[in-house]
Each structure stands twice: as C-alpha cells, then as structure tokens.
Amino acid sequence: MRPSSIHCNIMVCNKTTILIWLLFADLIRIAFASIVSTGNFNEDFYIAWSPSHINTSPDGRSRSVKLDQESGSSFVSNNMFLFGEIDMQIKLIPGYSAGTVVAFYMTSDQPNRDEIDFEFLGNVTGQPYILQTNVFVDGFGNREERIYLWFDPTKDFHTYSILWNLYQIVFMVDWVPIRVYRNHGDEGVPFPRWQPMSVKASIWNGDSWATRGGRDKVDWSKGPFIASFRNYKIDACVWKGNPRFCMVGNKTNWWNNPSLRSLSWRQRRLFRWARKYYLVYDYCHDTKRFQEQLPMECSLPKY
C-alpha cells in the first residue's frame, strides 16, 4: 500500500472518530437537556423585586410574596427553558383583594417577547376569583381568556400547570385543561418555539384594569396582600443556546413525544366541561374588539 493511501485512510479514520465523538457529545447534551427541579426556592429561583416583601420557609419549600403601598414583589427562575411542563401550587389572597394581580408565568424578556401567563385578578370579598390566561408571541398578545375558578383558591393550595411543547400550550388547573393554544404554524399562526423563557411569579397593583375594568381599586387598609407558593416542579429543557436539543422527543424530553400532540379523550371531556360552565371571556368571541376580523387561530381546531 502506498504511503499516500495510508495517510488518506488515517485522515478518514480521524474524521470518523471526530464525528462519532461529536455525535456522542450531542447525545450527552440531549440527555442532560432537561431538569427535574429541586423543590427548593432558594436553589432554583432568585428574588428579582423587593426582597423585604418575600418570605421563604427555612427549608426553602414554600415562599410568599407581598403587596403593600410600598411595593409588590417577584421571583424568577435561575434557568431559562424551551419547552417542558411547569407546575406550581398557589394559595391566593384571602378576603378583599380587588385591584391586585398575582401572576405565575413564563417569559422570554425580549423586546419581541414570548410569554405564557396565568394572572389571578383580585376580587371584592364574596365574589369569585377570575383567572386570566394570555399568550404572547413575538411581542403581540391580545389573546386573553378568563374563567371563574370552581373552588375558593384562597382556602387551600391548588396546582396550576403549563405544558408547552412543539404542538400545543396547555393551561391546567388541578390537571383540568382550561385552555389550549395549538401550534398552527403551517396555517400562518404564530407560536412560541424559538425563544427560551424563564419562570416567574409576582404580585402587583393592577387596579387600573384588574377588577371590573378598574372600577374596584386596591383598599390598602385591607393589606398587606399575600399569596403563597409551594411544591413546584420544573421538568423542562434547560436552554443551552441551541434550540434543536430542546426540540427532540425522547425519554428525557417527554413533552415533545407524539402522544402529547393533542389532548387525550379524558382531557377533552374535562376541557369542554370547564369551558361550558366557567368560561367568562374568550378573545375569539369578541367580534367588537377585533372589528369582525377575529385572529386566524380562532377558526382552527383547539385540539
């Protein structure tokens, strides 16, 4: 065999070895793409606004946020994520809470941000709590839906969840789907799929709009207003700078598997029940607001 042929084969072998190692590195990165959270607020979140208005239990397993005349407060996940499921148990402000907003959401924090929102709108004592959801894509929202909760969310903790994958965003309350925003990108409907998002929770004064369109204001004599969080779970793809690691479907990135392309038959039944009895506002029914030109997704299947 000629020396040049030997040299060529060595080069091929080296390239093959390098390719194998690159593929192996990709597999390692994919394998560690997701995270199951520690359950400790001190380890997974940082306080972004008003530390004096946030109280965390000694074991880090529960945390409360406070609103008073001085300030609101918020905390934010240390990591950013692209797809996954986020669960948070929340107990809302008891008694008179008009004008307050407690939020649990994901956001990319970019000028053209993507965002997935739970917003709990405070109420006058004795009135049902309203939960507002919204989806922002490339900086545009205007996709509000509102439901009455079918329980008193101030008496005990309930689980609020966001499932976000390549196919859909599902908002759930105690595992009941209350809203689905499907990926109809092939129909020209925008869907958040490129921007990683952090997980946030906050409490703030929204009395210009939150309760009866701003007619009921915050009564500071009823404060301070406190909401509590516990038993969260983040099972999501940690952003490492390359979206393709978060877009695969496997045992690690289970949320992207084909079985989660749509709601199950049981979820569909619960979804229809929640919307039949508790939906109070759907932007897709607001022809006046959109001057008879409803957004494109309103005419497309929800599941």
Active-site amino acid positions: 115, 119
Nearest of 52, 208, 62 to residue 122 by alpha carbon:
208
Nearest of 302, 186, 232, 293 to residue 61 by alpha carbon:
232
Distances (CA, A) of 1 to 5, 6, 11, 22: 7, 7, 15, 31
Pairing of strands 158-164, 81-91: antiparallel
Distances (CA, A) of 285 to 48, 165, 281, 293: 37, 26, 8, 11
Nearest of 285, 82, 295, 294 to residue 188 by alpha carbon:
295
Give Rg (Cα) of the chain: 23
Q: For residues 129 and 96, what is the distance between their CA atoms, to the nearest angstrom?
A: 11
Q: For residues 90 and 77, what is the distance between their CA atoms, to the nearest angstrom?
A: 16
CA end-to-end span of the chain: 64
Q: What is the DSSP letter of 53?
A: G
Distances (CA, A) of 173 to 2, 141, 208: 72, 22, 27
